[in-house]
């Protein structure tokens, strides 16, 4: 086979081949990686057709296999397809903007058929081929101008469609269309110039074979739209491809430069010699260029491709602000789904006991999500390796794994495949695995790249910390909730116990009340009969017997007072004590007490003195009976503790009050007793002691009555054996 006979292969031919390859590659990528739909097929069609076009033109140029005449006719046939494909693309992308595609397609077909006939069966289109030194020249017939108008019309229509869609759309779509529009415009206008205007005006068809180069505009701008505006979700692959392409182009330019320099020499070295040399150099330099572009691309596309830095910064910022487990999980999952373009992911969290629960799930079936951690192999494996586990690497891992693990790995592989999980990301907290994030396949079907894994690892470290914090916060919240419940419970118990006690207390008071009433009946009869005996109602009695009976009478009187006190206390404690206040002459009350107690005091051989101001006091509002009871109790108390000497009942007028005091020459009180004697029999041991002695009760009642009168009662004593003074102060 002769590759070239009358013309040498030049750099341009080389470039055409490269362009063809690039077109193919784009077509292939779009087809394999894109969503399977019309748009994908059409766009990949642009690539494939562009590639075939370049190759056919190459074959035409060097009339390989077939004569150039036939090749050019095949090329033109392809242009029919290519034009329609581009036009069709303008109709369907972006979808839903155009109602009907049938009519325009039909129109195209109707017009194409006669032209197609003309191409193959007449000389009206392609007359002949003339081989020139630079290659084959196509002699075009008169109809060619119509062909150009036909294609030009549909090309312009396609551009018009894109332009209209560009105007109508907004946002990211608008940007995408803009780049496709620019690419298409450059492509169509170049082709129109090289293959239409120039041949028609000058008959020059020399540049036919370079027209596929212009399809690089479509490829380039589409690739840009893909990269920058995520046109097809194949950014990473396209990004890589772009780097390859740039490297290629640079290497080719470099090769071209060498060829050019060689041609400048007075005696150029034969291409046959320098060709392989340049090729070797190109291969060597290709590596260098690839690295340089890779660096540039990663610097520039960091934002557009991955924007990992931004993802991580934003995530870190937000993570620190969230303490609720649910919101945290939502944020992590959202970030993962948006960054990685996933349709499924699940966050599994390890409980205290080692079981896993689903914290957040998108896309996976619940039982599938949890099935991964059912056998402990995965968690154990992740805990050991501390690295993300990628499904695609499992086969390799399996190959190198020890025999024992192979089966487990196989099971894991099958399970991951079954549930369409692509990656397992362990979450660690100080060497301990606290959870796993399972990621599904990317929407683009791209593999997880090295950059992805780096991002995911960093992200998982951040997520771990936040999840741990949130989980602790949760625990603390639970704890405080528990604590609150406990406190409430115990408060309730205490409340109940208190209510119970109150009931018991009430029962006690009621019991005392009832018992006292019943005690009063025999007391009444003792009092009555003894008084009548003493009065001689039942006959004369001996003087000695009379004395003893008087003692019985006074003892009975004391008993009556004690019962009265008990009744009063129970009344006070039941809240039934009511004061019946009326204006009273306080001297009269004291005088009646004095008269009542005089006989008893006299019998004990004590002196009893009543001192009152010379001028009468004004009346004050008191409950006479209660005040009387207070004074009687105090005098009774004084009698009990005084063996000799005197008891004084005194009344004094103070600026805002009336002061009554009972001074005795009795046993006196210690400092402690002075404080405690009013505290009553229910409170503490001192009270009980007093109760047993039969005193204290009256003092307690006295204190209660004074409280009800807003008065005061207190005792003073210079100590044991030195007598005491009991004070009662009533406000005026």
Partner 1 sequence: MKKILIIEDEKILGEMYQDKFSQAGFKVILTLEAEEGLVLAKKEKPDLIILDILLPRENGLFFLAQLRKDPEISSIPVVAFSNYDDSETKKQALKLRAKAYLIKTQFTPKQLLEEIKKYF
CA-closest candidate to residue 54, choices 89, 8, 23, 9: 23
The CA-atom distances, in angstroms, between 47 and each of 42, 73, 139, 186 are 9, 21, 29, 15
Name the minimum Å distance from CB 570 to partner 1: 11
Among 532, 609, 688, 692, binds partner 1 (CB under 8 A): 532
Burial label for 653, CB within 10 Å (0-12, 13-18, 19+), is: middle
- Identified binder of partner 1 from the candidate list 517, 598, 654, 675, rule CB under 8 A: 517
Whole-number minimum distance, CB 557 to partner 1, in Å?
Answer: 9
Least distance from C-beta 530 to partner 1, angstroms? Answer: 8
- Residue 638 near residue 666 (C-beta atoms within 8 A): yes
Chain center to CA of 420:
27
Question: In the complex with partner 1, which residue's Cβ is closer, 612 or 626?
Answer: 626
Contact mark string toward partner 1, 536..555, x via CB under 8 A: -x------------------
Q: Which of 390, 437, 523, 590 binds partner 1 (CB under 8 A)?
A: 523
Instruction: Identify which of residues 12 and 708 has a Cβ nearer to partner 1 in the complex.
Output: 708
Rounded to whole angstroms, the Cα distance separating 513 from 139 reads 137
Binding mask 617-646 for partner 1 (x = CB under 8 A): ------------------------------
Q: Give whichever of 474 and 558 is closer to partner 1, judged by the CB atom.
A: 558
**Stretch of 86-94, 164-172, 443-451, 515-523 contacting partner 1, by CB under 8 A:** 515-523
Cα 150 versus chain centre, distance: 62
Query: Which of 230, 240, 406, 520 touches partner 1 by CB under 8 A?
Result: 520
Binding of residue 672 to partner 1 (CB under 8 A): no
Q: Which part of the chain contacts partner 1 (CB under 8 A), choosing from 97-105, 263-271, 380-388, 520-528?
A: 520-528
**Least distance CB 591 / partner 1 (angstroms):** 18
Contacting partner 1 within 557-576 (CB under 8 A): 560, 563-564, 567, 576
CA distance 482 to 327: 23
Candidates 529, 554, 610, 714; binder of partner 1 (CB under 8 A) is: 529
Burial bucket for residue 511 (CB in 10 Å: 0-12, 13-18, 19+): exposed
Euclidean distance between CA atoms 422 and 413, whole angstroms? 10
Give the nearest distance from C-beta 522 to partner 1 in angstroms. 9
Q: How far is the CB of 531 from partner 1 (least distance, A)?
A: 4
Question: Which residue(s) pair with 658 in the sheet?
Answer: 653, 730
- CB-based contact 49:77 (threshold 8 Å): no
- Given a contact cutoff of 8 angstroms between Cβ atoms, the answer to whether 482 and 71 are in contact is no
Among 535, 542, 614, 672, binds partner 1 (CB under 8 A): 535
Angle at 63 between CA 58 and CA 65, to 5 degrees: 105
User: Which CB sits closer to partner 1, 575 or 655?
Assistant: 575
Size of the site for partner 1 (CB under 8 A): 19
631 burial via Cβ count (<10 Å: 0-12, 13-18, 19+): buried
Q: Which is nearer to partner 1, 347 or 563 (CB)?
A: 563
- Cβ nearer to partner 1, comparing 101 with 560: 560
Smallest distance from partner 1 to CB 691, Å: 20
CA–CA distance, 732 with 654 (Å, rounded to integer): 9
CA angle 83, 84, 89 (to 5 degrees): 100
Q: Closer to partner 1 at the Cβ: 567 or 697?
A: 567
Sign of the CA dihedral 225, 228, 229, 235? positive
CA dist., res. 150 & res. 333, Å (int): 53
- β partners of residue 731: 657
Q: How far apart are CA 594 and CA 635, in angstroms?
A: 9
**Chosen residue from 521, 605, 615, 710 binding partner 1 by CB under 8 A:** 521
| 33-41, 532-540, 671-679, 689-697 -> range binding partner 1 (CB under 8 A) | 532-540
Spell out, one character per residue from 577 to 606, where the chain touches partner 1: x when CB under 8 A holds, - when not: -x----------------------------
Q: How far is the CB of 537 from partner 1 (least distance, A)?
A: 6
Q: Which is nearer to partner 1, 263 or 531 (CB)?
A: 531
Query: Phi and psi of 320, rounded to 5°?
Result: -70, -15
Nearer to partner 1, 366 or 547 (CB): 547
223's tokens: 């690739």
CA distance 495 to 25: 82
Q: Which of 385, 477, 531, 595 binds partner 1 (CB under 8 A)?
A: 531
**Which residue spans within 328-376 are E strands per DSSP?**
345-350, 356-362
To the nearest 10°, report the CA torsion of 595, 601, 602, 605: -160
- Interaction site with partner 1 (CB under 8 A): 517, 520-521, 523-525, 527-529, 531-532, 535, 537, 560, 563-564, 567, 576, 578
């Amino acid at each position: 086979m002769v590759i070239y006979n009358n013309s040498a292969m030049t750099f341009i031919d080389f470039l055409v081949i490269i362009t063809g390859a690039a077109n193919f590659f784009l077509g292939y990528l779009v087809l394999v990686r894109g969503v399977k739909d019309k748009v994908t097929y059409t766009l990949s069609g642009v690539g494939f057709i562009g590639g075939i076009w370049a190759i056919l033109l190459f074959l035409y140029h060097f009339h390989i296999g077939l004569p150039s005449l036939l090749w050019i006719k095949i090329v033109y046939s392809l242009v029919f397809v290519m034009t329609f494909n581009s036009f069709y693309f303008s109709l369907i992308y972006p979808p839903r903007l155009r109602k009907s595609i049938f009519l325009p397609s039909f129109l195209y077909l109707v017009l194409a058929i006669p032209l197609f006939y003309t191409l193959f069966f007449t000389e009206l289109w392609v007359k002949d081929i003339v081989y020139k030194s630079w290659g084959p020249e196509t002699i075009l017939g008169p109809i060619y101008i119509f062909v150009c108008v036909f294609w030009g019309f549909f090309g312009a229509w396609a551009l018009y469609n894109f332009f209209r869609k560009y105007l109508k759309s907004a946002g990211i779509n608008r940007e995408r269309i803009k780049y496709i529009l620019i690419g298409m415009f450059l492509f169509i206008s170049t082709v129109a110039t090289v293959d239409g205007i120039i041949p028609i005006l000058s008959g020059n068809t020399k540049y036919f074979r370079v027209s596929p180069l212009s399809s690089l505009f479509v490829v380039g701008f589409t690739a840009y739209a893909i990269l920058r505006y995520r046109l097809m979700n194949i950014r990473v692959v396209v990004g890589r491809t772009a780097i390859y392409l740039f490297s290629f182009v640079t290497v080719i330019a470099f090769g071209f430069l060498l060829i050019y320099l060689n041609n400048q020499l007075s005696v150029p070295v034969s291409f046959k010699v320098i060709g392989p040399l340049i090729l070797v150099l190109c291969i060597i330099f290709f590596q260098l260029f690839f690295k340089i572009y890779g660096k540039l691309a990663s610097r520039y596309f960091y934002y557009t491709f991955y924007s990992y830095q931004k993802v991580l910064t934003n995530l870190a910022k937000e993570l620190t602000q969230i303490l609720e487990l649910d919101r945290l999980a939502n944020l992590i999952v959202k970030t993962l789904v948006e960054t990685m373009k996933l349709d499924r992911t699940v966050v599994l969290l390890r409980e205290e006991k080692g079981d896993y629960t689903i914290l957040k799930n998108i896309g996976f079936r619940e039982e599938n999500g949890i099935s991964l951690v059912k056998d402990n192999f995965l968690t154990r494996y992740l805990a050991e390796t501390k690295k993300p586990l990628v499904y695609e690497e499992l086969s390799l891992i399996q190959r190198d794994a020890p025999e024992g693990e192979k089966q487990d790995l196989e099971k894991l592989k099958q399970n991951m495949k079954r549930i369409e999980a692509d990656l397992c990301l362990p979450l660690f907290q100080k060497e301990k695995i606290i959870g796993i994030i399972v990621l599904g396949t990317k929407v683009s079907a791209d593999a997880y790249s090295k950059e992805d894994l780096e991002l995911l690892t960093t992200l998982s470290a951040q997520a771990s910390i936040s999840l741990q914090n949130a989980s602790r916060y949760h625990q603390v919240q639970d704890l405080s909730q528990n604590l609150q419940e406990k406190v409430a419970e115990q408060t309730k118990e205490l409340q109940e116990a208190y209510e119970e006690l109150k009931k018991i207390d009430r029962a006690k008071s009621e019991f005392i009340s009832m018992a006292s009433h019943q005690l009063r009946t025999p007391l009444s009869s003792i009092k009555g009969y003894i008084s009548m005996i003493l009065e001689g109602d039942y006959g004369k009695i001996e003087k000695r017997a009379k004395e003893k009976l008087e003692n019985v009478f006074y003892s009975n009187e004391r008993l009556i007072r004690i019962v009265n006190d008990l009744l009063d206390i129970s009344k006070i404690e039941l809240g039934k004590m009511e004061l019946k206040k009326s204006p009273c002459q306080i001297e009269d009350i004291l005088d009646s007490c004095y008269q009542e107690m005089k006989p008893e005091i006299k019998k004990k051989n004590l002196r009893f003195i009543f001192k009152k101001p010379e001028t009468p006091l004004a009346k004050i509002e008191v409950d006479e009976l209660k005040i009387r009871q207070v004074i009687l109790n105090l005098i009774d108390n004084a009698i009990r503790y005084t063996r000799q000497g005197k008891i004084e009942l005194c009344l004094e007028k103070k600026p805002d009050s009336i002061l009554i005091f009972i001074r005795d020459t009795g046993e006196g009180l210690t400092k402690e007793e002075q404080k405690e004697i009013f505290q009553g029999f229910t409170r503490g041991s001192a009270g009980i002691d007093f109760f047993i002695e039969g005193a204290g009760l009256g003092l307690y009642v006295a204190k209660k009555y004074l409280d009800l009168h807003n008065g005061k009662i207190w005792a003073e004593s210079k100590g044991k054996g030195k007598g005491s003074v009991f004070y009662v102060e009533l406000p005026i």
